[in-house]
Amino acid sequence: MKTVFIKELVANDNLIDQEVTVKGWVRSLRKSKAFSFMVVNDGSSQLNLQIIVDGSTPNYEEVSKLLVGSTVIVNGVAKASQGKNQSVEIQSKSVEIVCANTDDYPLQKKATSFEFLREIAHLRPRTNSFGAVFRVRHTLAKATHDFFHNNNFYYVNTPIITGLDAEGAGEMFRVSTIDLNNIPHTDKKEVDFAQDYFGKETSLCVSGQLEAEALALALGRVYTFGPTFRSENSYTSRHLAEFWMVEPEVSFCNLDQVATLAHDYLKFMAKSVLDSNPNEMDFFNQRIEKGLIEKLQSLVNSEITKITYTEAVKLLENSKKKFEFPVKWGIDLQTEHERHLTDDIYKGPVIVTDYPKKIKAFYMKENDDGETVRAMDLLIPGVGELIGGSQREDSYDKLLNRMNENKMNVAPYQWYLDLRKYGGAEHSGFGLGFERFIMYATGMTNIRDVIPFARTPKSAEF
């Protein structure tokens, strides 16, 4: 008796007429006197398996009354199926009831809204939509490791607890063991972090970039892939307080080269989901976003599209579209502007480069014009910003100036400056918001629905 996953059973003709065991959850049950049709899903793929339970089964009474979502272990013989929706079915010999659900189970057959499902995030992975999302999420994570490994990158792990603000934007969650009911103060009446766990003020990382730079300037090409945290109060469909970021960092690499790397990485991920998850992609294509498969295929075959920030501003200024936020050189592009570029003008991903230095982080390399930096944002239709990256300032003096201009406390960043003093090199990198790419790849329109348990302002359930 061999325990098999439904995905293996469907793929292997040589299991036909073999006795197998399948373990999973009842999706539906249609009963008659002589036998019942029980449909089971085991999570291994989008595909369900039909079980024909014979009326002579010893516990037939109980089995035929099973409610949706109940757990079963079925033993029986795999048979080629005549049904048009399946290639294999099981003629059962025995059905063990592991957990019989009651009729108050919140996931009934009728369609439920994504909003409602967010409230039962512990059960929603059992639905078709969320099973598909989380399987695609896995494929994209694996594709990420494959892509970078194939391109001579090393996977490194940067710290999650940090004393630095890598983006200089002040959107950090504090990490502290100070007793909030008895906060120690210095003579100057400031909180005395010297008495805190690490002897200084610490937070959860907003990015692993600064430490990744140290590793890239030793290992050549590295990437991080881990959780990052931002306390920005953005209550939007594309912001999470805890999200996963993929951050490659490359020595001996300029902005153009890292932009090409980003584009190649997206193509690789798109191809991976199309190849690895055909059933999930069919499901999304039919139920979530019409034309999704075609969209991803055209990404796989696409050429890179790059424009400068200055060109983007001209395009937006000359556009007939009325924007809520008026466009002029120097503004940070708003979602409506980014969407107009990707959805209306280019109808695909666009990389915008060379932003004004005033709106970008301190570590980006200044251009000769003294006004712009070697930054890039990769924008995608429907989502907006997917990637933020740059060539890093590799001059010690310019970087120090920039930090002073931004009124940063330089001392904790001395090690980061030293990377420019000892064995420095031209280097570049980017960060990809992993959940935002999953949105693009699945057509899901709310970022809360592509991570198992979302953390957003005023919400940290489960």
Binding site for Mg ion (CB under 5 A): 388
3-class SS of residue 438: helix
Query: Of ligand 4AD, Mg ion, none, which one sits near residue 245, judging by CB under 5 to 8 A according to partner kind?
Result: ligand 4AD
Q: Which residue's CB atom is positioned nearest to Mg ion?
A: 388
* Shortest Cβ 167–ligand 4AD spacing (Å): 5
Near ligand 4AD by CB under 6 A: residue from 207, 251, 342, 372: 207
CA dihedral 164, 170, 171, 174 (to 10 degrees): 50
Question: Whose Cβ is closer to ligand 4AD: residue 232's or residue 336's?
Answer: 232
Near ligand 4AD by CB under 6 A: residue from 51, 72, 166, 215: 166
Q: How far is it, in rounded angstroms, from Cα 449 to Cα 62?
A: 36
* Shortest Cβ 366–ligand 4AD spacing (Å): 16
Query: Of ligand 4AD, Mg ion, none, which one sits near residue 437, judging by CB under 5 to 8 A according to partner kind?
Result: none
CA–chain centroid gap for 2, Å, is: 35
Beta bridge partners of 176: none
Opening angle at CA 236, ends 356 and 165, nearest 5: 50
Near ligand 4AD by CB under 6 A: residue from 69, 76, 131, 431: 431
CB 439 within 8 A of CB 445: yes
Is 360 an interacting residue with respect to ligand 4AD (CB under 6 A)?
no
Q: How many residues comprise the chain?
A: 462
Q: How far is it, in rounded angstroms, from Cα 40 to Cα 71?
A: 9
What is the pattern of x (binds ligand 4AD, CB under 6 A) and - over residues 210-249? Answer: --------------------x-x------xx--x-x-x--
Q: How far is it, in rounded angstroms, from Cα 157 to Cα 212?
A: 8
Environment class of residue 58 by beta-carbon count within 10 Å: exposed (0-12), middle (13-18) or buried (19+)? exposed
Question: Whose Cβ is closer to Mg ion: residue 133's or residue 245's?
Answer: 245
| Cα→Cα distances 221→155, 213, 249, 393, 453, Å | 9, 9, 6, 17, 32
Question: Whose Cβ is closer to ligand 4AD: residue 136's or residue 166's?
Answer: 166
Is 430 an interacting residue with respect to ligand 4AD (CB under 6 A)?
yes
Query: Of ligand 4AD, Mg ion, none, which one sits near residue 433, judging by CB under 5 to 8 A according to partner kind?
Result: ligand 4AD
Question: Whose Cβ is closer to ligand 4AD: residue 80's or residue 169's?
Answer: 169
DSSP string, 146-159: HHHHHTT-EE----
Q: Quick one: which segment of 17-25, 290-298, 305-313, 385-393 binds ligand 4AD (CB under 6 A)?
A: 385-393
Determine the size of the site formed for ligand 4AD (CB under 6 A): 22
CB 455 within 8 A of CB 438: no
* Shortest Cβ 167–Mg ion spacing (Å): 8
Of 439, 446, 453, which Cα lies nearest the Cα of 133? 439
Is 394 an interacting residue with respect to ligand 4AD (CB under 6 A)?
no
Is 449 an interacting residue with respect to ligand 4AD (CB under 6 A)?
no
Edge-to-edge strand order for the sheet containing 350-353?
A: 154-155, 221-229, 242-251, 427-433, 384-391, 375-380, 350-353, 306-308
Question: Whose Cβ is closer to ligand 4AD: residue 167's or residue 366's?
Answer: 167
Identify the DSSP state of 343: I
What is the pattern of x (binds ligand 4AD, CB under 6 A) and - over residues 400-429? Answer: -----------------------------x
Report the interface residues with ligand 4AD, using CB under 6 A: 166-167, 207, 209, 230, 232, 239-240, 243, 245, 247, 385-389, 429-431, 433, 435-436
